[in-house]
Every structure is written in structure tokens, then in C-alpha cells.
Amino acid sequence: MSRSVQDVVFVDGARTPFGKAGPKGIFAETRADDLVVNVFRELARRNEGLPLDSIDDVAVAATTQVGDQGLTIGRSAALLAGFPRTVPGYSVDRMCAGAMTSVTTLSAAIMSGMYDVAVAGGVEHMGRHPMGEGVDPNPRFLSEKLVDPEALLMGKTAENLHDRFPHLTKERADAYAVASQEKTAKAYANGRIQPNLVPVATRSAEKGFGLATADEPPRPGTSMASLAALKTPFRAHGRVTAGNAAGLNDGATGAILASGDAAREYGLTTKMRLVSFAFAGVDPEVMGIGPVPSTEKALAKAGLSIGDIGLFEVNEAFAIQVLAFLDHFGIADDDARVNPYGGAIAVGHPLASSGIRLMTYLADEFAEHPEVRYGLTTMCIGLGMGGTVIWENPNFDGKKA
């Protein structure tokens, strides 16, 4: 039986507020799987026309798949969220691009006609499960010099990127970080971020119950002077600091994906249409350059050029990683098309959850900019990779920007 390629649409996305990892963070005593459950229930509530028994699969990513992030979390979170028991699920691990890979893997199944509707997600509770917990790297990595020892420490790979591109100075990285904080503060003031945040009930043995309704990490009022005074923990007299990098965070994201036909059948919104995606490998010791080749591959698959992209959502694991991407494509550090609502330096980067956060931002930006036809979401990935997804704006009106 022959099957035609189906359109894949991004129906809706939501996330918890992102918290600071650690004993004082808002989610310190909240389970990781419960964060996912909150997001899934909100997506179901907001899309009442979708019969839950029509969901073909659920994929949830986590970088550290132990404890409350284990037990095939895609399946367990779906059950806990009240999805019918007929809905299957599985877990994904591609480090920082976990949620992005949840989306692309499910999208490929929709494109082929195997699925009609799917739910993707990602979670990371870095307070409960620090990056690298329980990991046992094969000794061959070092004994056979397969990778530089610094490749296993993300902060040092960012310092290596500064070495490779000395014109991308600490001052430029700090300026980018200040702008991220300012854009996030402006987006909050204009009510751009709040609509897709799912309130989460929290508990604390010391403080009692609470309600998380906003991201915890942003530092409005950050200045160049305050960033200049920060320590460089990854290298003496280095350039990467806690101010020009994303922090350690807790949070979860989720999204509904569907074929174009299924979206129409159930009366679902179409916030974006998937055009192409690609992943690429690079030297692990400079993993931050990963978004460059993955974007080049995704553009080639789509038959587009970088000039066709009107909005960019680039994950801000480190400011230097974003600057290297922009520098390669000849885009100014302060280009208004890049991360209009700010990024991970301000709101945080709970590893495997961040890919869908980028997509949710882009979907809202598309609605604000009908003059933009194409946008992309991209991120660097641990152990030397990059991932990029190109999207089309269903609100495009054909007018020039």
C-alpha cells in the first residue's frame, strides 16, 4: 500500500516555569515526572477537541534517565497525566537536544503516515539529577585519545570555542548576555512569555506549599560591570562565566504534533509547519559549533538559504556558542531576528527540555510577524553535535518585511 508524505504541524506547546537547581530552587521538592504531568494535562485542557485516545505515541526526553526521570518516562508520564492506557510512550536521550529529538522522531513517523497525532516532551531536574550522575565514560575515550579530556566538561568546550574564535571576545559574550536578560524582561513586561507557562504547585518542608508561575533564573538589571566581576570557573583568566552562560535548572516542556489532515479533522490550531530538520556531529571539544553544520544541512534539505530565515531561536547554552553561529552566517550580534524574547542565559536551560521551549517561542513570534515565512530552532549538543529544525509560518501574508 503506497502512502504519501504528510505535512507535520506544531499544534501547541507549553512548559513549566524554569527553576534554579538546588535545595533553594522552586522545584527542589517536586518530582521530575510530576513536572511533565502538569504540562501534559495543560496541553489536553487547552486542546479539548483532541480525543486523547487518538494520540499515537508519546516521547519524553531526559538526559539523566534515573529515579523520577527514569521508568520509560514517556509512558509513565502519559499514564500519570490521565492519557488512555492504549496510548504508548517511550523515552529519548540526546542530551540538550532531547526534546528536539522527541519532536523530530515523532514528526518523521507522522510524515510517513504511521502516526496522525503525537505528544513530545522533555524534562530535566538538575537539582535532583546533576548532569553526569551515574555516568561511567568508557576509559577508551581518554586512553586512546578519542576525544580531548575537556570534551566531557561543557564549560571547557565553551572556553575552547573562545580559543578558536579570538575575535569573539568576553566583552561581546557579556554584551550578548546583558541583551538576553533585557529582552526577557521586556517579553515578560509585554506578557509574551506567561501564556505558555503552566502553574505548578510546589511544596517545601520548611516553607509549606506554593505556586510557581514565573521563571526563577532571570536577573533583570544585569549590567556589563556586574558580569565583568564574575569568576571564570572553567579556566583561570577565562571568558566563560555564570553570567554569560545558562545556569543549572529544573523544568519540563511539552508539545502536540499532528498531520495537517488530523489537525483539520479535530479542529486543532496550526502554529507552525515543519519544513526540514538535521543533526550533525563536530569535534566534541568544541561542541558549541554544532548548530552551524546542522543548520547548513537543514537549509540544504529545505532548498533554502540563511537569507530566507526571518526568525532564529538559538539555544543560549553559552553566549560564545550563539556568537559563533551568528558570526559564521554573517549575522550581527544584536540582530533583532535572533531570540526576540531572550533566551536560556536569562530563563534557564533544563537540558533535555529546552528544544520545545525554543519551538514554543518561535510559534508565538510567528503569530506576531506574518511578514516572516521561515524560522528555525537550533542548539548545540553535548559530545559534539548540533540540531536544527526549520519551520514555516502559517500566518505568512506574502508581504516583505
For residue 100, what is its C-alpha cell?
528536539
Contact in structure between 36 and 120 (CB atoms under 8 Å): no
Burial of 31 (0-12, 13-18, 19+ CB in 10 A): middle
162 is catalytic: no
Specify whether 237 is catalytic.
Answer: no
Instruction: Of 255, 6, 210, 276, give the one whose Cα is nearest residue 116.
Output: 6
Cell 548532569 belongs to residue: 131
Query: Are the beta carbons of 124 and 251 closer than 8 angstroms?
Result: yes
Question: Rounded to an integer, what distance in angstroms lies between the CA atom of residue 150 and that of residue 189?
Answer: 40
Contact yes or no for 123/35 (Cβ under 8 A):
yes
3-class SS shares of the chain: helix, strand, coil, % to 5: 35, 20, 40
Contacts of residue 58, defined as CB under 8 A and 6 or more positions apart, other chains included, come to: 74, 75, 77, 78, 83, 87, 88, 89, 90, 118, 119, 120, 121
Residue among 202, 39, 57, 55 nearest 123 (CA) = 39
* Count, residues in the chain: 401
The CA–CA distances, whole Å, from 136 to 38, 139, 281 equal: 32, 9, 22
Q: Which of 129, 162, 349, 369 is catalytic?
A: 349
Tell me the C-alpha distance between 36 and 217, whole Å. 19
Query: Annotated catalytic residue: which of 96, 129, 162, 369?
Result: 96
Residue 331 identity (one-letter amino acid): I
> H helices then E strands: how many in the chain?
12, 12
Active site residue 125: no
Amino acid at residue number 328: H
Distance between CA 168 and CA 210 in Å, rounded? 42
* Residue of 125, 129, 369, 380 with catalytic role: 380
Q: SS3 of 149, please?
A: helix
The DSSP bridge pattern shows strands 374-381 and 309-314 to be parallel
Catalytic residues: 96, 349, 380
